[in-house]
Amino acid sequence: MHSLAVYSIKGGVGKTATAVNLAYVGASLGYRVLLWDLDPQGATSYYLRVKAKVKGGGRRMLQAKSSLDRWILGSDFDGFDLLPADFSYRHLDLVLQESKQPRQKLAEVLEPLTSQYDWLLLDCAPSISLVSEGVFEAVDALLVPTIPTTLSLRTLEQLLKHLKDWGRGRPQVLPFLSMLERRKSLHRKVAEAVARSEAGFLQTAIPFSALVEAMGKHRSPVAAYSPRCGPAACFRKLWAEMETAVTAGADGHALQEPKAKVIAEIHKALQN
């Protein structure tokens, strides 16, 4: 099983939209995909019309000696399952705190699922916390949606610095441009700057589109209600690129990764 967290320190950058749409693409390619909604807001669960079975699941999920199995619910799409969130997840940090090895905890509870799914996607809440530390420990890669602004570049730089001394088991970092609006000159400039390979961005960008925003109305992935639209095609491309990067990483041939220094330079150049 390959595992991937859609993560960003910054909120509202398109993490949930990415997680839901990519999981859908993966399942439509024939993979068995599990999406774990780790955000107490439960936006992912909402998009997929799924409600957590039992209230207070967060604590019980992590504490039970049994596995996560019994909390998993199928989405409306073949091969696409979900571990829904509920509001109790806001205490997840505390729950982890109580366990012996908080950082390893998530990886540990996920272990039994590795033979049931080909891909595990985590939709994370923004912020750096004990939960996100556990996520970094558990996954092969972080997919980082980055809005093409100087501010977003700065948070990416912060993340890279934070991960610098992570040591063994450090996830691969795969940033990509999210909510790109070509008519905005700053967006265009950032897009040009990160297109240089040393920036380590995936080449696919997800455009800003009303069709993506409409996910809340349809409560389903974009491709399910508009399979031939541009954004749906972008998510398919993003999956393919991500799959190549993650499988190459698993074979020990990780692609060029972003470096905090390079991002800082781009950031500085844009400010002048």
Partner 1 sequence: MNLESLAFSPPSSETGSIGSRLAEALPGAGNATGDRNFPWAAGKETKFAQQRVYLDSFDWRLWRAGWILETVQAGNGWQWRLFPRPGASPSSSNGGKKKENPYQEFRGRLNSSRKQYAAEHLPDGPIADRIRPLIGIRALLPRLELDIQGRELPLVDGRQKTVVRLRQQRRHLRNPLWAAAAEQAGAEVTLEDPLLLKSVRGFEKPLRQVAAYFTENGWQTQPTSTLLSDFEALELEPGQDPARYVLTIDPEAPAGQVTRDVFLTLLDNMESCLDGCLAGWDTEFLHDFRVAIRRTRSIQGQMRLLFQGPTYDRFRQSFRWLGGLTGPTRDLDVLHLKLAGYQAGLPVAVQQSLGDLDRYLERHEAQVRRKMVRSLRTQRAQRLLLDWRTWLLAGTESQQTVAAEVPVSQIAAARIWKIYRRVLKKGKALTPQSPAEGLHEVRLDCKKLRYLMEMYRGAFPGSIRRCIRVLKGLQDNLGDFNDYEVHQVLFRAEALQAVEKKAASEQILLAVGRLLEVLDQRQQGEREAFAGRFREFATDDHQRWFRDLFRRPAKQAEKALEAAHRA
Ligand X SMILES: Nc1ncnc2c1ncn2[C@@H]1O[C@H](COP(=O)(O)OP(=O)(O)OP(=O)(O)O)[C@@H](O)[C@H]1O
Residues that bind partner 1 (CB under 8 A): 25, 28-32, 49-51, 53, 72-74, 76, 81, 114-115, 118, 219, 236, 243, 247, 251
Q: CB under 5 to 8 A by kind: which of partner 1, Mg ion, ligand X, none does 235 bind?
A: none
**Residue 189 CB neighbour total at 10 angstroms:** 16
Minimum distance from residue 78 beta carbon to partner 1 (Å) = 8
Select from 155, 200, 209, 157 the least CA-distant residue to 178: 209
**E-strand spans in the chain?**
2-6, 33-37, 73-74, 80-83, 119-123, 141-146, 172-177
Return the one option of Mg ion, partner 1, ligand X, none that residue 135 interacts with (CB less than 5 to 8 A, by type): none
Which is closer to partner 1, CB of 37 or CB of 157? 37
Nearer to Mg ion, 47 or 117 (CB): 47
| Residue whose structure tokens are 């992912």 | 44
Structure tokens at 80: 């696409």
Rule CB under 5 A: say whether 15 interacts with Mg ion. Answer: yes
Strand 2-6 relative to strand 141-146, pairing: parallel
Cβ proximity to ligand X: between 13 and 135 the closer is: 13
> Which of Mg ion, partner 1, ligand X, none has residue 50 at its interface (CB below 5 to 8 Å by kind)?
partner 1
Specify the length of the chain in residues.
272
Q: What is the DSSP letter of 229?
A: S
Partners of 107 in beta bridges: none
Whether the CB-CB separation of 94 and 9 falls below 8 Å is answered with no
Q: Which is nearer to partner 1, 12 or 112 (CB)?
A: 112
Closest to partner 1 by CB, 7 or 235: 235
Q: In Å, how far are 23, 135, 161 from 266, measured between CA atoms?
A: 31, 28, 15
Question: For 46, how many CA atoms within 13 A lie in the half-sphere containing its CB?
Answer: 12
Q: Which does 76 bind (CB under 5 to 8 A by kind): ligand X, partner 1, Mg ion, none?
A: partner 1
14: partner contacted, choices ligand X, Mg ion, partner 1, none (Cβ within 5-8 A by kind): ligand X
Residues in touch with ligand X (CB under 6 A): 11-17, 39, 43, 126, 179, 206, 208-209, 212-213, 215-216
126 binding partner (options Mg ion, ligand X, partner 1, none; Cβ < 5 to 8 Å by kind):
ligand X
Q: Which residues bind Mg ion (CB under 5 A)?
A: 15-16, 43
